[in-house]
Structure 1
Amino acid sequence: MTSSPTFTDQQDATEGRSLGSQYQPFAGPHMTDPHPFFERLRREEPVTYSPMLDMWLVSRYDDISGVLKDPARFSNRDMLGSGTHLTDEAREVLARGFDTRHVLLGMDPPEHTRLRRLTNRGFTSKRIASMAPFIRDRTETLVDAFVADGRADLVQQLAYPLPVHVILGVMGVPHEDVWKIKRWSADWQQLAFEQVPPEQQVEMANGVLEFQQYCVRLIEDRRENPQDDLTSYLVAVEADGEALTLHELVMAIGASMLSAGHESTTALLANTWKLALEHGAWEQLREDRSLVLPFLEESTRFDSVSHAMIRTAREDVEVGGVPIPAGSRLLLLYAAGSRDESLCPHAATLDPRRDPAPRHLTFGRGTHFCLGAPLMRLQYEITTNALLDRLPDLRLVPDQDHGIWQSLVLRQMRHLHVTWTPAG
């Protein structure tokens, strides 16, 4: 009987032999199409160490689910500090504002439980459903702008502008501020989850600080002039006599809502449309609209734009039979786990008629299940049906560069060029 590998064995294996030492998430084939590599990981080294990231890669569905369901042993505390190695100058700028790690995504129970309970009360199904007319109107306006052209970039002209306008509407933020918030949220996301060059860090840190100051002004305004929006609700809400602090409000409104509330939706919309066109499903969806929502679930399983999430081991643990020392960070590869054959047969095949639909990892598990998933689904359903109605013979422009880029946790396209036959 062979013994489990020790931590030293795993470190030794990284010197040219470990698959973890080969993982390059920010460039090359692991960014443009990571799935062949992920298949090797699941088969050969399902839990392996990446020296470049200083993280343990976890690629099998059951192992990822087990970590997500065990917050007692696996913490979220380092979630927002896993990307850029900040310069002293950038740290000094950020120190003038609120601690950017103090956000739902980086919290553990019981602190997370309290804050999630308060935010859940404002993000109700009724409030989300009430956004449908606005989403339809905004979608029609955006499509009207290009429907007669016969060609468009569906990222830049629809998937990029729509979600940020929607979340601004939910929060009650003036729509003329949309591009400032886009820029600030990009600064926040990149510093948290990407490898930003030192010469760009101070400018981005100042962007984060400006974003926080904007949120403070918005909060102060809603204290004086409450409106029928989620910001006003969060400012006023209490649980057991306890309201959100200013720090908690800035993080909830800025990081959790205005920033995270649209970036992942942009990525999901574009990628789902691309897959439908690549796999010949567009006509199928147009003829059978009952498949529109199942296609979303299957496409996000097949190629998850929520690429990964991060956890930290609170104690010495084993994952997939591999010993992980206390304090180690784990990169839970959602995109790999959702194609695991243990989740569904023929997992490398895109099939929207799967019954029952597999429980993919895109929206997370347990206490950190994505708060915005229902709003994301609503935007997808409305926009996809609008495109099917108005651009029935939609086609991908061949041999295009989608401008794919990836952080540790999110994979996106900058472009999705399409053509169709204009009406009349």
Structure 2
Amino acid sequence: MPVNVQKQEETGVPAHASATVPSPHLGAQYNPFFGPHVANPHDFFEKLRKDEPVTFSPMLNMWLVSRYDDITAVLKDPARFSNRDMLGSGTHLTEEAKAILAQGFDTRHVLLGMDPPDHTRLRRLMNRGFTPARINGMAPFIQKLATEMVAKFANDGRADLVEQLAYPLPAYVILGIMGVPAEDVWKIKRWSADWQQLTFEHIPAEQQVEMAKGVIEFQQYCVRLIEDRKKNPKEDLTSYLVAVEDNGEALTMDELIMAIGASMLSAGHESTTALMANTWKLALEHGMWGMMRHNRELVMKFLEESSRYDSVSHSMIRTAREDVEVGGVKIPAGSRLMLLYAAGSRDESRCPFSSKLDVTREKVPQHLTFGHGTHFCLGAPLARLQYQITTNTLLDMLPDLKLVPNQDYGIWQSIVLRQMKHLRVEWER
């Protein structure tokens, strides 16, 4: 059946499907960008799972999917559910911003928005750069960074663990892996924020032009980095990606820019920042900091339990390639689905007493913080290693951390990630 392209571009739902969209109920109440669903979405997610596990959001023009089994069923079926709209889920771009971005490279080569077989090929090549040996070899560098950063504020009696630790450390780590000069970290953080926000948030029109220019600057930086490694290869992941071949075929410049810029230098640190900060906050809120201090085996177990309990991975988007049924609801071809990872990770059917944060569980049920299936997070082992080393460093150097009371964490959320701007703590000097 033909699809009205203009209608689909505006809403994500083909014109012929509009008659099948039900009158919205809970879906009409959800706003992932502002209000109570940002600060604490879980009461609402519980209602979704119980009453309307698959429901339509007119604001987002997407179907919200909130149960674990429904989400994973979609993720395991790329033949019927495409990633093609993953990178067009946030800002409605102005024509001026579009014209600037059109000067850059093809975003169809971003790993997050690709389908098999193209995704399979690129993922296979990038996986070779994330071997256990390469990841574990970063441990001394991460330990050195964590120790130096904590030492800078250890005698102050007060710190912001986001600004002074969780925000800079993952950026320095990924830049170290890629072989990027440490002095460029703040430029790359700014450019990365421009790219991420234009892709996954609702950005006012008046801010879009400067952010689009930042994206182009970032891509040109990556071009210079790639050209330098072609002439002067080093022992870093950028050099590996420049040289790697698949059946005699090297990565194209578009693929390299998106692999190095979007997948590594941009996405490679934002989620780790959010993960570490939120896990520390939950440990301090729920009185588990002392438990971890005395029993270090709980450090990694708490990461998994806190990720299940309050996932910083908000959602991912898929597009139905054909008329499908999800959770008993018929969804027309061309419709977009917002897979609510944070809701699925706390699904009661997967975890008894799911609304309780309990590090003493015999086994933490599988969660969706790092995704599932073919798009499982490439950097998950590195993120876990950074959390483990940095948390143990804090426990060693600042064992009696407490949250500063009545603080504003500055929680904000994009399509894909829920983050904090601040995590203020204090301790006896």
Aligned partners of 1:184 and 1:325: how far apart in 2?
37
Cross-structure match for 1:275: 282
1:16-415 pair list within 5 angstroms: 18-415=25-422
Aligned partners of 2:86 and 2:68: how far apart in 1?
20
Partner SS state of residue 145, structure 1: helix
* Aligned CA distance change for structure 1 residues 117 and 178 (closer, same or farther; 3 Å): same
1:238 maps to a residue whose letter is E
Q: Deviations over 1:165-187 (max 9, x none)?
A: 00000000000000000000000
Aligned partners of 1:100 and 1:352: how far apart in 2?
40
Which runs of structure 1 show a deviation greater than 6 angstroms over 4 or more consecutive aligned residues? 6-10
Aligned partners of 1:266 and 1:9: how far apart in 2?
42
Give how far 1:12 is off. 4.5
Cross-structure match for 2:23: 13
Q: Deviations over 1:208-227 (max 9, x none)?
A: 00000000000000000000
CA contact (8 A) 1:10 1:49 kept: no
Give how far 1:9 is off. 7.8
Q: Which runs of 5+ in 1 are unaligned?
A: 1-5
Aligned partners of 1:325 and 1:45: how far apart in 2?
18
Give how far 1:239 is off. 1.3
Partner SS state of residue 343, structure 1: coil
CA contact (8 A) 1:237 1:243 kept: yes
CA contact (8 A) 2:409 2:420 kept: yes
Q: Which runs of 5+ in 2 are unaligned?
A: 1-15
Partner SS state of residue 326, structure 1: coil
Give how far 1:356 is off. 2.4
> TM-score, normalised on structure 2?
0.95
1:156 maps to a residue whose letter is E
1:233 maps to a residue whose letter is Y
Aligned partners of 2:106 and 2:231: how far apart in 1?
26
Aligned partners of 2:377 and 2:162: how far apart in 1?
22
Cross-structure match for 1:3: none
Give how far 1:13 is off. 1.7
CA contact (8 A) 1:10 1:48 kept: no
Aligned partners of 1:386 and 1:102: how far apart in 2?
38
Aligned partners of 1:404 and 1:311: how far apart in 2?
25
Moved more, 353-362 or 409-418: 353-362
Give how far 1:242 is off. 1.0
2:321 maps to a residue whose letter is R
Aligned partners of 2:363 and 2:202: how far apart in 1?
39
Aligned partners of 2:191 and 2:371: how far apart in 1?
25
CA contact (8 A) 2:110 2:259 kept: yes
Partner SS state of residue 98, structure 2: helix
Give how far 1:353 is off. 2.5
Aligned partners of 1:138 and 1:101: how far apart in 2?
35
CA contact (8 A) 2:20 2:332 kept: no
CA contact (8 A) 2:87 2:200 kept: yes
1:119 maps to a residue whose letter is M
Cross-structure match for 2:11: none
Identity level (%): 74
Partner SS state of residue 337, structure 2: strand
